[in-house]
Structures are given as structure tokens and as C-alpha cells.
Amino acid sequence: MASSSNNPDVKYDVFLSFRGKDTRNNFTSRLDAALRRKMIQTFIDDGLERREEISPSLLEAIERSMISVVVLSENYASSRWCLEELAKILDCKKRFGQMVIPIFYHVDPSHVRNQTGAFGKAFDALKKRFEGRLDVLQRFIFGRSPPLFYPKQENDLLQRWETALMEVGKISGITTDSKRESELIEEIVTDILKRLTKMSPSAHSDLIGVESTIKEIESLLEIGSNDVCIVGIWGIGGIGKTSISRGIFNKHWRYFEGSYFAENVREESERRGLTFLREELFCKILEDRYANIGLTLTKERLAHKKVFIVFDDVTSLDQIKNLIGDLKCLGLGSRIIITSRDKQVLNNFCGADKIYELERLHHLKALQLFSRHAFKHNGDTIKEYMELSEWMVTYAKGVPLALKVLGSFLLGKTKREWVSAVDKLKRCPHKDIQSVLKINFEEIS
């Protein structure tokens, strides 16, 4: 899922910093597994050999992460390795604006900030190890033990670590006391998902002219409420039902316990059969490909699962009944989107709570979408092609799929080729455009 940040070389969503002996085999491993289940790309240093100096590969992983999660356990500050990680993390926060989430794992934030309490004792133990090492060094050099001094490099390191602990202790983070670990991990994962969503490029960056439509459909879905909500999206072929529902699905699916996008149900059920589609669906939301929809056990499992499912291009209620049964019997908070060209299917058969009708794009938005595919670089129409572009947009009748097909067809072609294409379309429509528009002509005739 790793995407944008002020750092152009982002590779990971989350870097996990922790002291292995404290949390590797319990809290941190469970958190890492929960993040990975949500397709969040994490970096955890399980495979790296611990040495005196922090490895360059680890420093690079910190730099290339969008968020650093620091699990501040009681003995975190006893590890020179952990403190170097922390200092590097806070350096990336300043340089790249990297997000830092401290988890105060059974420690008080003020103890981290001021190096006091049990957390402070762990840091003191590290400093004493420094003193012991330097004392041995001075005995070797001087043959005696003069008043202890810290070389400048060691003093700088200690100061760097103290400053890092003070800074991370001031960051608003997550405390673990009085919370069940499972609830705590769920809370952390949800928080990280929200932050990543805000930091990522728009999920609808390739959808032109439908920003308000997406917001209206999201409003109808009422994501976050506890009921089961079914929203139907109705519109002619090629108008963007699949693209819009896919954009909404990609934005929200990680917030559910199970999710599935059943694309082109009509065609896929004819090609591969509903049994295959049902197995695929159950594999995704129940992790059980061979669950039997007729069994009470399967129904009970579905009733306890908060899911987000899109059924795209549905033509009858039987398709949904065969795939998953009664939609209203899904777990609380579940959300279902059904797209169809037939409003009656949504209204009378599928039981959609709300139906949203998609309309053709207005001319300016249609021109923008066409230009995005015809000229690629920035989506602006080149002046000398404006008249020809206007003709193409009018020909496509505001249907997004038609605009994309035409634009892609003309991409990179000379003006003479554009003129030739217009002449041919006037006499004999381009076969892909014809198939897109044929559906619509049949439906309105």
C-alpha cells in the first residue's frame, strides 16, 4: 500500500521499532500480523543480525517508511540499537515529515520524556555500561584510572539519545494500560489506516468529474453505523458504475473484517459459474472456499462478520442468493454495493435500501476525461486539436467508457490521423465505441 510522502523513495507503509526481548514474541508480532492482514506493508527487523552499530539496511528502511511505530517498553532504552533507531526516526520526522506513532507499552509517557521510573533505570543501565567500557579503555591507555571522562563522540551519542527520548515522550501516542491487547491492536491498526488514507494520493485520481458523485454514494452508505446497509448504483452501460464502486471499495475495504469485489457478475457467472464465484467470495470473507451457504454454521459465521462487498453488474436476485444468501443477515456494520443497468433488479429483487442513479458527464468534464486519455501528459486539450476533440466528446454522448476508448484510440496519432478517424466514425462507428453505445441505444429505443 506504500505510496506518497515527502520522501520520494518510500517503500514501506510502517516501520516497527521495538526491543526484541520485551515484545518480539507477543505484542509486536501480533501487531505486525494484524497490519499485514490489512495489506499494510511493514518492515520488522526479524532477519537482521544485531551488531554494535546499527546496520545501513535498517537506516534505509526507516528512511523509506511512511510511518514509524515505536513500541516503548520498559527496557527499550537499555538498547543502544533501539535508541539509534529512535534518533533516526525522529530525524526522518524533521527531514521528510514522517509520521511517528509512539506506543507506551506499560510505561508512562512522562517516564519516557524525563527518563525516570523503571524506564529511566533501563537508560541509566546503558549509561553505566558506557562508563565501564571507557574505564577499561582508560586503564589500558594510562595504566591507572584517572577521573572518568567521556570522549566527545560518546557524549554526543548520549545527548542525542536523551533528546530523542524527550521528543518522543512529548508526541501524543497510544497507552496500553487498562486495555485488552486485542482491542488495543485493533485501535492501532485503525489509526494507522486512517493516517495512511490521508497521506495517500486520492483513491479517485483517475476518475474525472465524479468527485461529488462518490461523496454522495459514500454518504448513502453511512459507513460507521451499526446497521446493514445496501446501496444500489443504477445507470446505462459504460457510464462508470464499476469504476466508481471500485474507487469507493478501494478506499474503505480495509476497515472491514472481510471484503470482496465481485466484478461483472453477469458475465462471470455465465463464463465460470456461480459456484466458482461463491467459492472465491467465501475464500475472501470467511477464509473458507468450501463453506456451504445452506448450513446454519455458515449463516452464523456470516452473521458475525462485518463485511464490505460489491456485486457489480447484477441482473437478477438469484445471482446474489446463490452467492451469499440473505444480505440482511450479514454482520452488523456490513456494507453492500450492487450495480445494475436494471432499476427493477435493485428495487424489487435485491432489496437495496437506497438507489443512486448515475448520469452522463457534462460537456466540460467529458472533455477533461477524453483529453486525459488522448493527450496523457496533463489531461489538457492541445489547442490545435480542440475542434476535433469537441466533436469526439459530442460523439461519445457523455459516456465515460466511450470517452476513454476514443481518447486511448487517438493517443499519439497525428492531426491528419485524427481527421481521418472523424471521417470514418461519421460513416462507420469504431467497433468498441459502437458496442458501448449500442447498449444505450437499445435501452432508450
Catalytic residue ranges: 85
Q: H helices within 97-240, ranges in order?
A: 109-114, 117-142, 152-170, 181-199, 211-221
Annotate 329-374 with DSSP letters as a single string: GSPTT-EEEEEES-HHIIIIIS--SEEEE--PPPHHHHHHHHHHHH
Nearest-10 Cα torsion for 44, 46, 52, 58:
-30
A 10 A CB-CB count for 376 gives 12
Which H or E run contains 387? helix 386-396
147 phi, psi to nearest 5 deg: -50, 130
CA pair distance 260, 254, nearest whole angstrom: 11
**Cell (9 digits) for 392:** 469526439
CA pair distance 76, 70, nearest whole angstrom: 10
How many residues in total does the chain contain?
445
Helix (H, G, I), strand (E, B) or coil at 400: helix
CA pair distance 303, 359, nearest whole angstrom: 35
Q: Which residue from 396, 404, 390 is spatially nearest to 360, judged by alpha carbons?
A: 396
**Cell (9 digits) for 259:** 471484503
Look up residue 215 and give its amino acid: K
CA pair distance 355, 353, nearest whole angstrom: 7
Q: Which residues contact 162 (CB under 8 A, 6 or more apart)?
A: 115, 123
Q: What is the CA radius of gyration of the chain?
A: 29
